[in-house]
Amino acid sequence: MNKMSNSNNLLEIRDLVVKFKTEEGIVNAVNGVNYSVPEGCSIGVVGESGCGKTVSAYSITRLLPKNATFSGQILYKERNGKVTDTLALPAEGKEIRRLRGRDISMIFQEPMSSLSPVHTINNQLSEAMILFQNMSKQEARERSIELLDLVGIPNPSRRVDEYPFQFSGGMRQRVMIAMALARNPRLLIADEPTTALDVTLQAQVLKLIQNMQNEFNLSMILITHDLGVVAHMVDYIYIMYLGRVVERGKVVDIFDNPLHPYTKGLLNSIPKLKGKRGERVSSIPGTVPSTYVVPVGCGFAARCPYAKEQCFKELPDRVLVEDEHEVSCFLFNGGEVKEDAANA
């Protein structure tokens, strides 16, 4: 059924499952993910490495390797209102390439490996505008210079003819942002956009992405392992663990009233400025289980201090605990907060 559950949504991911066939066995990367992006809103998808956050986002534009098998639906509302299931489109077909070229842009983790080292910045920025916006070479060049200026590159009319190796790491990430904007997108997917940058540049680049999102009224999916990064950047947060969403809610609810023990663990592991001298930053005990085996019960059970027998045998349902705040955990039952959960 290709119908959005909410007419305000630009994107809905439904029951997404992605597996990779490898020589060692089947990697269960995404085990039934659901999330939605309302038009003009931004969501943060947060979790440890290997939790499936990047794979689920890359599935939107079918940027999956050939050994991937998948099921579910990814519904995208196009400019004319038509709803398209991008997961059902051929990976190299015209339609998905049109969406990648015009509607959905990505900012990748590592700008040096995402930019072509043998083409000038002008060539790389202009390509999408010439192909998908019918601009002449001259028009695309002028727009490229404007975009470089917009993202804070000094001397843009000179630097547009340079190569990526002539730019610093922070400047390359700014070029990636300009390249994402050149497509005039409606949805921006930013995958750990500041991982390769030092701390001072991280703040600048995040601020720039936020400004661009507001200026162009973009919807955004920000993927990160760092809850601190999303705090001021997004409207909703989805917490992922072992290929599933375990909690989702408005930013204020996730920070003020975290429900899932994993979310609490993530929040406790953020260093605090007002912490006592010598106080250790807490960490979540144990490691993420292997993705070769999908656990029968709750994926977090082996690390959870509140795990009971039931947690190892059954998968907890999603429960709406308060307005737009859902959790998958047996501590919460039928919308009622159990006493032990309130004290957890």
Whole-angstrom CA distances from 23 to 1, 20, 27, 170, 292 are 35, 10, 10, 38, 12
306 binding ligand SF4? (CB under 6 A): yes
* Per-residue b or e along 281-300, where b marks 16 or more CB atoms closer than 10 Å to that residue's CB: eeebeeebbebeebbebbbb
Applying CB under 6 A, among 307, 318, 337, 338 the residue interacting with ligand SF4 is 307
What is the size of the binding site for ligand SF4 (CB under 6 A)?
13
Pick the closer one to ligand SF4 by CB: 267 or 307: 307
In sequence order, what are the residues at sequence separation of 6 or more whose Cβ sits closer than 8 angstroms to the Cβ of residue 256?
Answer: none
330 binding ligand SF4? (CB under 6 A): yes
241 binding ligand SF4? (CB under 6 A): no
Which residues, numbered 244-263, are part of the site for ligand SF4 (CB under 6 A)? 260-261
Pick the closer one to ligand SF4 by CB: 163 or 306: 306
Of 200-208, 219-227, 265-273, 293-301, which segment contacts ligand SF4 by CB under 6 A? 293-301
What is the rounded CA–CA span in Å between residue 62 and residue 100? 9
Pick the closer one to ligand SF4 by CB: 222 or 298: 298
Write out the two tokens for 248.
Answer: 């989702």
Of 112-120, 153-161, 181-189, 298-306, which segment contacts ligand SF4 by CB under 6 A? 298-306
Q: Minimum distance between the CB of residue 59 and ligand SF4, rounded to whole angstroms? A: 25
Q: Minimum distance between the CB of residue 104 and ligand SF4, rounded to whole angstroms? A: 33
Applying CB under 6 A, among 298, 319, 325, 326 the residue interacting with ligand SF4 is 298
What is the rounded CA–CA span in Å between residue 19 and residue 323? 33
170 binding ligand SF4? (CB under 6 A): no
Of 50-58, 61-69, 195-203, 323-331, which segment contacts ligand SF4 by CB under 6 A? 323-331
Contact residues toward ligand SF4 (CB under 6 A) are 260-261, 298, 300-301, 304, 306-307, 311, 316, 329-331
